[in-house]
């Protein structure tokens, strides 16, 4: 199951209490205070782990708590610090507190975000000794760790995001270009959740592709399946807009999706876009060329004619995608 939202509790460890103790050693007169400080509580960190693609593992637990600090002891022995807790989340995770305030975003593998600080350990009575009070009989309690309710939201991090109406051929194309195995069938909404795949021109020139659920008119306002997945397109570097050539009016289909992207956000509509005319094996080459010309005039760019089933145009598409992502060719 693909989970892109989760509410979790995080709790930093409590600081250990300081100790009240005095030296009691034979032949040592006036030993004085010897209570050690308590250890600091551990903190909770979120860490981006590229092996994860959903928030399912995080959502399965109700609370993530770091270890408490140990109390101080006699002979001025300080308590042990509590161990920090690292919680792995997928890259692209946006973190907010329960009031909606943005705490941070984890976009790259290994990136860490402190979400619940551990409490400070209390001072033992040795720390309170002074010229006017040589035998203090009090110590500090450890501070409680920070407790937070977090709202996690995943925005997929991919190089290329596929968009288009349902049955535009997104899943079939992803399967043809990558090692992913998306669900493919001839009915709307085959893709119910985003699917990632890796495609490459060769062993070192690779890119991450994201097959996103089909959008329909009104998706930005909550219609269909696409509204909750529009945000995933925001993190993709470029948008590959797929249009089915076998439709009655491919240009209308293109304009429908462009309207949804613009209605959702101006930044999304302004992303670099490439357009591909899919399922060209279903029509004559003459019709495919004519529809590509019509579509290109509306989109303001050349349109690649492809067929994921026959392989037509796929190598050309990969080359264009790579040159767009890496203008320097590296």
- Ordered by where they begin, the domains of the chain are 1-154 (2.70.210.12), 160-325 (3.40.50.300)
Burial of 171 (0-12, 13-18, 19+ CB in 10 A): buried
Q: 295 by DSSP, 3-state: which?
A: helix
Do 176 and 209 contact (CB within 8 A), yes or no?
no
More confident residue, 184 or 233: 233
Query: The whole model's pTM is what?
Result: 0.64
CB atoms within 10 A of CB 93: 27
More confident residue, 297 or 266: 297
What was the pLDDT predicted at 178?
78
What was the pLDDT predicted at 102?
94
Phi first, then psi: what are they for 121, rounded to 5°? Answer: -70, 145
Tell whether the model's pLDDT for residue 18 goes beyond 50.
yes
Mean of the pLDDT values across residues 161-186?
Answer: 73
Phi first, then psi: what are they for 19, rounded to 5°? Answer: -105, 150
Among the residue ranges 55-69, 111-125, 200-214, 275-289, the one predicted with the least confidence is 200-214
Is residue 108 very low, low, confident or very high in pLDDT (cuts 50, 70, 90)? confident
Among the residue ranges 76-85, 136-145, 184-193, 196-205, the one predicted with the least confidence is 184-193
Cα separation of 237 and 206, whole Å?
14
What tokens were used for 252?
């209308």
Tell whether the model's pLDDT for residue 14 goes beyond 70.
yes
CB atoms within 10 A of CB 48: 21
What was the pLDDT predicted at 135?
87
Tell whether the model's pLDDT for residue 126 goes beyond 70.
yes
What was the pLDDT predicted at 257?
86
Cα separation of 118 and 65, whole Å?
10
pLDDT (tens digit per residue) in 198-239: 776 665 677 888 787 655 444 444 444 444 556 667 778 899
What was the pLDDT predicted at 226?
47
Is residue 79 very low, low, confident or very high in pLDDT (cuts 50, 70, 90)? very high
Cα separation of 112 and 8, whole Å?
17
Is residue 185 very low, low, confident or very high in pLDDT (cuts 50, 70, 90)? very low
**Average pLDDT for the chain:** 84
Tell whether the model's pLDDT for residue 190 goes beyond 50.
no
Tell whether the model's pLDDT for residue 162 goes beyond 90.
no
């Amino acid at each position: 199951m693909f989970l892109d939202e989760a509410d979790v509790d995080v709790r930093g460890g409590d600081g250990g209490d300081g100790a009240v103790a005095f030296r009691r050693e034979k032949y040592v007169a006036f030993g004085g205070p010897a209570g050690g400080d308590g250890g600091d509580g551990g903190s909770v960190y979120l860490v981006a782990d590229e092996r994860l693609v959903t928030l399912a593992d995080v959502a399965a637990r109700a609370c993530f708590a770091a270890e408490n600090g140990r109390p101080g002891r006699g002979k001025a022995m300080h308590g042990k610090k509590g161990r920090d807790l690292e919680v792995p989340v997928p890259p692209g995770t946006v973190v907010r507190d329960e009031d909606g305030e943005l705490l941070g975003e984890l976009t790259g593998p290994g990136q860490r975000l402190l979400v619940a600080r551990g409490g400070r350990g209390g001072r033992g009575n040795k720390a309170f000794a002074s010229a006017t009070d040589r035998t203090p009989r009090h110590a500090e309690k450890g501070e409680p760790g920070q407790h937070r309710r977090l709202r996690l939201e995943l925005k997929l991090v991919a190089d290329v995001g596929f968009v288009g109406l349902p049955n535009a051929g997104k899943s079939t194309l992803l399967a043809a270009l990558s090692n992913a195995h998306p669900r493919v069938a001839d009915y709307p909404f085959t893709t119910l959740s985003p699917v990632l795949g890796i495609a490459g021109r060769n062993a070192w020139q690779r890119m991450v592709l994201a097959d996103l659920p089909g959008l329909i008119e009104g998706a930005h306002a909550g219609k269909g399946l696409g509204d909750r997945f529009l945000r995933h397109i925001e993190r993709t570097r470029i948008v590959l807009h797929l249009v089915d050539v076998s439709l009655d009016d491919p240009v209308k289909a293109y304009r429908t999706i462009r309207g949804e992207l613009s209605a959702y956000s101006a930044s999304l509509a302004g992303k670099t876009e490439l357009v591909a005319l899919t399922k060209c094996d279903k029509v004559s080459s003459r019709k495919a060329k004519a529809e590509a010309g019509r579509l290109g005039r509306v989109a303001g760019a050349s349109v690649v004619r492809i067929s994921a089933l026959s392989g037509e145009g796929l190598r050309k598409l990969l080359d264009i995608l790579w040159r767009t992502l890496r203008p320097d060719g590296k």
